[in-house]
Structure 1
Amino acid sequence: MVGADALPVSIGPRRIVCLTEEPTETLYALGEADRIVGISGFTVRPPRARKEKPKVSAFTSAKIGQILELRPDFVIGFSDIQADIAAELIRHGVEVWISNHRSVDGTLDYIRRLGALVGAGERANAYADELRRGLDAIAAEAARLSQRPKVYFEEWDEPLITGIQWVAELVRIAGGDDIFPERAAEPLARARILADGDEVVRRAPDIVIGSWCGKKFQPGKVAARPGWDAIPAVRDGELHEVKSPLILQPGPAALTDGVAAIAAIVREWSARQPARDQQR
């Protein structure tokens, strides 16, 4: 039996390197930031993380030597794109968890699992429940809209890459319908490449949302694509940007600020429809 004055037992890893933003944001939200010893250079949430933690990776590359100097007992990454980084760290004896969640439910489950790993299971469950309630509230508000717009979400422009599953799901929660649901189900970006931009023209989205990872969305460049002047979204000036840190990582940001940004675009589009219908 442990004595009353015994030191508390630490649960889970104490020196964690986060190769992407979502574990960093989650651990900070759970009050477990002290466990993090290294983060991705692309991390922007929370802002204080960039000031407090050394940046040791990009997305497809990492400073292996610097990571090893941090003596991590756990490294967290995401997807097959970081498989080579994971393999090299494993060869150095580091324990690595590569998550591969691609949906809203998968993201909520990821938060619960990460919390459990660090002994914060109850806090993680409460946090995931809070995020779910927020999504439900947005969906309830969206259900009151008179029309649902067709939405084309563009993750990259050269080549054209459509949105991944969690993005399509958040568009639906926000009150829109993704025009490429069959591609959203594809986990790999190469399976979501559009060989022919005319397919967007044929599907006639009411709204175009661009989130070009690492560079600014250019509505003028999109509008100038051959034949795209026939798209309702281009004709009506419904070309919008959602910053990639808010939506392209399957973590808390996407389930809060990301979906809120999409919902605002959809609401504003919906509010403009009566006036547009009278003009036509």
Structure 2
Amino acid sequence: MSTSAAVPLRLASLVASNSDILAALGLYGQVVAVDSHSDAPGLETARRLGLDLDIDVQALQEAAPDLVLASLSVPGQDRVVAQVQAAGLPTLVLDPVTLSQVMADIRLVGERLGVPERAEAVVRAFQDELRDLRPTLPRPPRVVVEWWPRPIIAATCDSWVTDLLSELGAVNAFAQRPGRSTPLTLEEVQDAQPDLIVCSWCGAKKLRPEVIEARGLGVPVVAIHESGLGRPGPRLIEGARQLSEALKNLNI
């Protein structure tokens, strides 16, 4: 894709993580349509397309994007991607699992959109700060990152959360469970012997760590908005900052 095009590409994003990437790359001015969850700065004039799992494809077509950034990281998004592709819209689909794949996707988007240097700078800044955030701990704390309360759903092996925790000197208490996430019983959470539970409910208007505390496990709970842990993009560093502080405060 030429970097010398006279007219900037018109871009659309169907999930908040992709919108965060575009904003970090300084391309928010080219974004003409986004899902309703996207809250990155600079997107105020972009057309809203509805929830990420209920994208208004006709409205997306009317926005006439040159490229649509989609994702499979949101469960059920494959149906939306199929509809967008059936409508004949050029689509770039991201589906990172590991933290290194998240960084690779930032580089990929930067390359496709003609700003590889910006992408590399974003990745390097992320990696440098993450390295500095690692606290000194007597042992690796066991952490549960909870995506939903009823039923309890937590991040498992195939999640950037596992890598993020590892970079901070901690472990995902369910790293041995296959898949990206899993429903859990209260007994299974207790048996995992967590030192910390993170309330990061996806799509929740309000985080309520007191709900987790009321289960009576006696484990410290910290609330981190899903924008800092649930989105595979540059804002994972926000979650890493909060996790680092929470880990420092553990009495282990």
Query: Could you state the TM-score of these two structures normalised by the residue count of structure 1?
Result: 0.81
In the alignment, structure 1 residue 240 sits paired with structure 2 residue 222: yes
Structure 1 pair 162/12, CA: closer, same or farther in 2 (3 Å)?
A: farther
Distance (Å, rounded) in 1 between the aligned partners of 2:61 and 2:15: 17
Greater per-residue helix proportion: 1
Question: Aligned partners of 1:263, 1:181: CA distance in 2, in Å?
Answer: 19
Supply the distance in 2 between the matched residues of 1:111 and 1:198 (Cα, whole angstroms): 38
Structure 1 residue 168: deviation in Å?
A: 2.0
2:163 corresponds in structure 1 to: 169
Counterparts of 2:213 and 2:131, CA distance in 1: 34
In the alignment, which residue of structure 2 is the partner of 1:222? Answer: 212
Q: Is the 8 A contact 2:122 2:234 kept in 1?
A: no
Partner of 2:248: 267
CA RMSD of aligned residues (A): 2.0
2:103: which partner in 1?
Answer: 108
CA contact (8 A) 1:206 1:232 kept: no
Deviation at 1:126, TM superposition (A): 2.1
> d(CA) in 2 for partners of 1:249 and 1:129?
18
* Residue aligned with 1:182, SS: coil
The structure 1 residue matched to 2:112, chosen from 110, 114, 117, is: 117
Which residue, 205, 211, 216 being the options, matches 2:200?
Answer: 211
**SS in structure 2 of the partner of residue 171 of structure 1:** helix
Question: Structure 1 residue aligned with 2:69, among 68, 76, 82?
Answer: 76
Partners of 1:35 and 1:265 in 2: how far apart? 37
- 1:117 is displaced (CA, Å) by 0.4
Shift of 1:259: 0.8
SS of structure 2 residue aligned to 1:181: coil
Aligned residues of 2:143 and 2:170 also touching (Cα < 8 A): yes
- The answer to whether the 8 Å contact 2:32/2:45 transfers is no
Q: How does 1:5-44 map to 2 (within 5 A)?
A: 9-10=4-5, 14-44=9-39
Number of residue equivalences: 245
Q: 1:247: how far off?
A: 1.2
TM-score, length-scaled by structure 2: 0.89
CA distance in 1, matches of 2:224, 2:47: 27
Structure 1 counterpart SS, 2:49: strand
Whole-angstrom CA distance in 2 between matches of 1:84 and 1:102: 19
State the shift of 1:246 in Å.
1.6
Per-residue deviation, residues 35-70 of structure 1 (Å, max 9, x unmatched)? 211112111223x32x23221131211011111101
